[in-house]
Structure 1
Amino acid sequence: MSVLAELRVRNENLGAPVAIEKLNWRGIKQGVLAPSTIILAFIFGFNNVTVQGVAFFTPTIIRGIYPGKTTVQQQLLTVPAYIVGAFFVLAVPYASMKLQKRGVFLLGAAPMVAAGYIVFLATTKPQARYAGVFLINIGAFVFGPMVTAWTSINVASDTARASALGLVVMLGNCGGLISTWSYVATDAPNYPIGNGLNLACAGAIFILLLVLLTFMHRDNKKRDRGEYDHFLEETTTPELLGNNHPAFRWRT
Structure 2
Amino acid sequence: MSSETMSRKDSKDPEAVEVQEINANVYRPEVDTSAIDEKKLMRRIDWHVVPWLSVLYLLNFLDRGSIGNAKLYHMTADLHITDKQYLIALTVFFFPYSLFEVQPPSNVALKKLRPSIWLSFIMFVWGITMTMHGLITNYAGLVGLRFLLGLAEAGLYPGVVFYMSCWYRRNELGTRVGAFFSSATIAGAFSGLLAAAIAKMDGVGGKPGWAWIFILEGLFTVLCAIASFFILSDFPDTAKFLTETERVWVIRRLQADMKFSAGGESFKMKYVWQALSDWNTWLAMGIYMGFDGPLFAFSLFTPTIINQLGFQATAANLLSVPVYAWACIMTVVVGFWGDRVKSRAWINLGLFGSGLIGYIILICSKNPSLSYFAVYLAASSIYPTIPNSVAWVASNVEGSYKRSAVLGMAIGWGNLNGAVTSNVYRAVDKPWYRLGHGIVLAYIAIGWLCSLTYYFHLKYENARRERGDRDEVIEGTDNKHAVESNGHFENIEAARIEKGDKWSGFRYSL
Q: Does the TM-score normalized on the shorter chain lie above 0.5?
A: yes
Quick one: which of 264, 281, 300 aligns to 1:37? 281
- Residue type matched to 1:39 in 2? L
Query: Which deviates the most, 31-40 or 135-144?
Result: 31-40
- Residue type matched to 1:250 in 2? Y
Contact 2:293 2:443 in 1 (8 A): yes
Cα distance in structure 1, aligned partners of 2:447 and 2:414: 13
Q: Which residue of 2 aligns with 1:135?
A: 377
Q: Which residue of 1 aligns with 2:464?
A: 222
Cα distance in structure 2, aligned partners of 1:33 and 1:183: 36
1:208 Cα deviation after fit: 1.1
* Shift >6 Å, 4+ stretches: none
Quick one: which of 143, 146, 149 aligns to 2:391? 149
Q: Which residue of 2 aligns with 1:163?
A: 405
Cα distance in structure 1, aligned partners of 2:375 and 2:401: 38
The 5 A counterparts of 1:1-252 are 1-13=246-258, 19-67=263-311, 69=312, 71-230=313-472, 234-236=487-489, 237-238=494-495, 239-252=497-510
RCO comparison, higher one (Cα < 8 Å, 6+): 1
Contact 2:290 2:445 in 1 (8 A): no
1:53 Cα deviation after fit: 2.4
Contact 1:14 1:245 in 2 (8 A): no
1:34 Cα deviation after fit: 2.8
- Residue type matched to 2:378 in 1? I
Q: RMSD between aligned alpha carbons?
A: 2.0
Cα distance in structure 1, aligned partners of 2:488 and 2:447: 37
Report the secondary structure of 1:189's partner residue.
Answer: coil
Q: Deviations along 1:59-113, whole A, 9 cap, x unmatched? A: 344235544x4x1222011110110001111110111112222111111100111
1:128 Cα deviation after fit: 0.4
Cα distance in structure 2, aligned partners of 1:231 and 1:34: 22
TM-score by length of 2: 0.46
Cα distance in structure 2, aligned partners of 1:223 and 1:204: 29
Contact 1:231 1:246 in 2 (8 A): no
1:153 Cα deviation after fit: 1.0
Cα distance in structure 2, aligned partners of 1:105 and 1:142: 9
Q: Deviations along 1:229-251, whole A, 9 cap, x unmatched? A: 14665323412112221101111
Report the secondary structure of 2:263's partner residue.
Answer: coil
Q: Deviations along 1:117-144, whole A, 9 cap, x unmatched? A: 1011111111000000010111100122
Distance 1:140 1:101, change over 3 A: same
Cα distance in structure 2, aligned partners of 1:79 and 1:47: 21
Contact 2:355 2:377 in 1 (8 A): yes
Aligned residue pairs, count:
249
Contact 1:50 1:179 in 2 (8 A): yes
- Residue type matched to 2:488 in 1? T
Distance 1:117 1:6, change over 3 A: same
1:28 Cα deviation after fit: 2.0
Distance 1:15 1:74, change over 3 A: closer
Larger radius of gyration: 2
- Residue type matched to 1:52 in 2? F
Contact 2:395 2:509 in 1 (8 A): yes
